[in-house]
Amino acid sequence: MMTLGGPRPPPLAGGGGGPALGRGMGDIAVCGAVFPRYTLPRVICFDVDFTLWPFWVDTHRDPPYKQQPCGRVVDAEGRCCALYPDVPRILRELRALPAAARPVLAFASRTSAPEWLEDLAKVTRLGDALTMWDAPDHREIYPGSKLRHFRKIAAATGVAPHEMLFFDDEVGSNRDVLQLGVKFVEVKNGMNVSLLHQGLRWYAERHGQTEGALLRG
């Protein structure tokens, strides 16, 4: 088992062109849409494989990973290791939310090659100096049921699972997290801004509810 956590990363220098306060003092803008800040989840968690990038890192991409002069990241066989197109923007803008409103960001992956995922994430840049590895506040990256992942996130952050919003492409193998109260959004064709907005609105409708729920993609 490999638990990858750590302190919250420093704020982005200069805001990175990220979100701003919305129409009212109680509103916050996220990737171009405005939400009442009190309805935002306290944790937003992403799976990685087929959620943030379009492959399984443990079977589809082999180390070492390197960034070419053009910025493109490739694996040992020269295969592209790009994120889904909207993912850099999503992670940058969530990271750049005002501190008082920003949810904790987390990654939860069941990959059997956590070291490979870490190596690739560290050379995957989201813009400026921020890497994919730097983006989350907390990481739970190891094989097994995600019940364990979310229990560890709850213990590390002090946030109850029913205040967490989770994006993942695998519904069948993750239904058990609903037992904890997690709000689960199915990702069918990779993470994108539209799905982020849909998930945040859906979560807002269930704000304060302790039961787990599933939004099918």
Which residues are part of the catalytic machinery?
Answer: 47, 49
Q: Which pLDDT belongs to residue 6?
A: 44
Q: What are the CA-CA distances from residue 157 to residues 132, 205, 210 (Å)? A: 20, 23, 17
- List residues bridging with 166 in a β-sheet: 45, 184
Tell me: the pLDDT tens digits for 17-57? 444 444 455 899 999 999 999 999 999 999 999 999 999 99
Q: What pLDDT is stored for residue 66 in this prediction?
A: 94
At 35 the three-state DSSP class reads strand
Triad 71, 76, 79: Cα angle to 5°: 60
Q: Which residues of the chain have pLDDT under 70?
A: 1-25
DSSP 160-205: -GGGEEEEES-SGGGGGGGGGT-EEEE-SS---HHHHHHHHHHHHH
Structure confidence at residue 9 (pLDDT) = 43
Instruction: Tell me phi and psi for residue 4, to 5 degrees.
Output: -115, 95
